[in-house]
């Protein structure tokens, strides 16, 4: 009898623990996926892939967080490797689709699957962003010649803006004639308004 009760108690504890874990997971997901409509948050969409990472430093506060909190797309080894083997996935929070997000596959390279991530960030504080292209050397050989194609590493000009509370922003990197550029668009409403950006913000005087 004691053994039976012990087994029942163990099963009940397992079910209870599993249920609590599920509820906590659902609560965490609900918090992450919540629309950026609170008083102090906004959302950004950042594109990246192997060889073409994009970085944003958000919530810059000269008293508590002078460099900002780094968010990158394709800049870490894990994400770059997933892009390299073409298993990288988009991270969505329900932001409005744009031509760039709907056609993200057009940004794919030979060993570089493009993706984007949507992230909740602090509003009302400066955000700095920059895009990069990591050049590589490609070597090919024939019976009589050896060819080396070198790609030059480049980066976009750093940009900065202050996200407004409850707004959604797309930060898109564009490569043109061997150079990287960043275009920031407020996609909160259907009008899709270009954002005027400034030089990178710095707490250093």
Report pLDDT for 174.
84
Report pLDDT for 37.
53
Report pLDDT for 155.
58
Helix (H) or strand (E) holding 69: strand 69-73
The two tokens of residue 67 are 């460099």
Report pLDDT for 137.
47
Spatial CA neighbour of 183 closest among 167, 199, 200, 159: 159
The two tokens of residue 150 are 């070198």
Report pLDDT for 187.
97
Report pLDDT for 1.
43
76 and 46 in contact (C-beta within 8 Å)? no
Q: Per-residue pLDDT tens for 124-159?
A: 999 999 888 664 544 455 566 555 445 555 656 889
Asked whether the whole model's pTM tops 0.95, one would answer: no
Report pLDDT for 140.
52
Report pLDDT for 100.
93
Measure the CA dihedral 78/79/84/85, to 10°: 70
Residue 162 to residue 141: CA distance in whole angstroms = 51
Report pLDDT for 134.
60
- The ranges of the chain with pLDDT < 50 are 1-34, 36, 135, 137-139, 148-149
Report pLDDT for 75.
67
Q: Per-residue pLDDT tens for 97-120?
A: 999 999 988 888 778 788 899 999
């Amino acid at each position: 009898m004691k053994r039976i009760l012990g087994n029942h108690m163990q099963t009940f504890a397992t079910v209870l623990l599993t249920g609590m874990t599920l509820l906590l997971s659902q609560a965490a997901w609900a918090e992450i996926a919540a629309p950026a409509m609170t008083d102090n948050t906004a959302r950004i969409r950042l594109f990246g892939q192997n060889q073409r990472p994009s970085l944003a430093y958000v919530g810059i506060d000269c008293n508590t967080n002078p460099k900002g909190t780094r968010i990158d797309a394709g800049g870490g080894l894990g994400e770059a490797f997933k892009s390299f083997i073409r298993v990288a996935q988009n991270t969505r929070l329900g932001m409005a689709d744009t031509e760039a997000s709907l056609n993200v596959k057009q940004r794919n390279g030979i060993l570089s699957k493009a993706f984007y991530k949507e992230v909740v960030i602090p509003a009302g504080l400066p955000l700095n962003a920059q895009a990069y292209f990591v050049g590589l050397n490609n070597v090919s050989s024939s019976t009589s010649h050896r060819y080396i194609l070198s790609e030059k590493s480049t980066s976009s000009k750093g940009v900065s803006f202050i996200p407004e509370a409850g707004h959604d922003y797309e930060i898109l990197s564009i490569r043109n004639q061997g150079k990287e550029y960043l275009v920031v668009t407020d996609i909160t409403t259907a009008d899709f308004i270009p954002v005027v950006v400034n030089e990178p913000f710095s707490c250093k005087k």
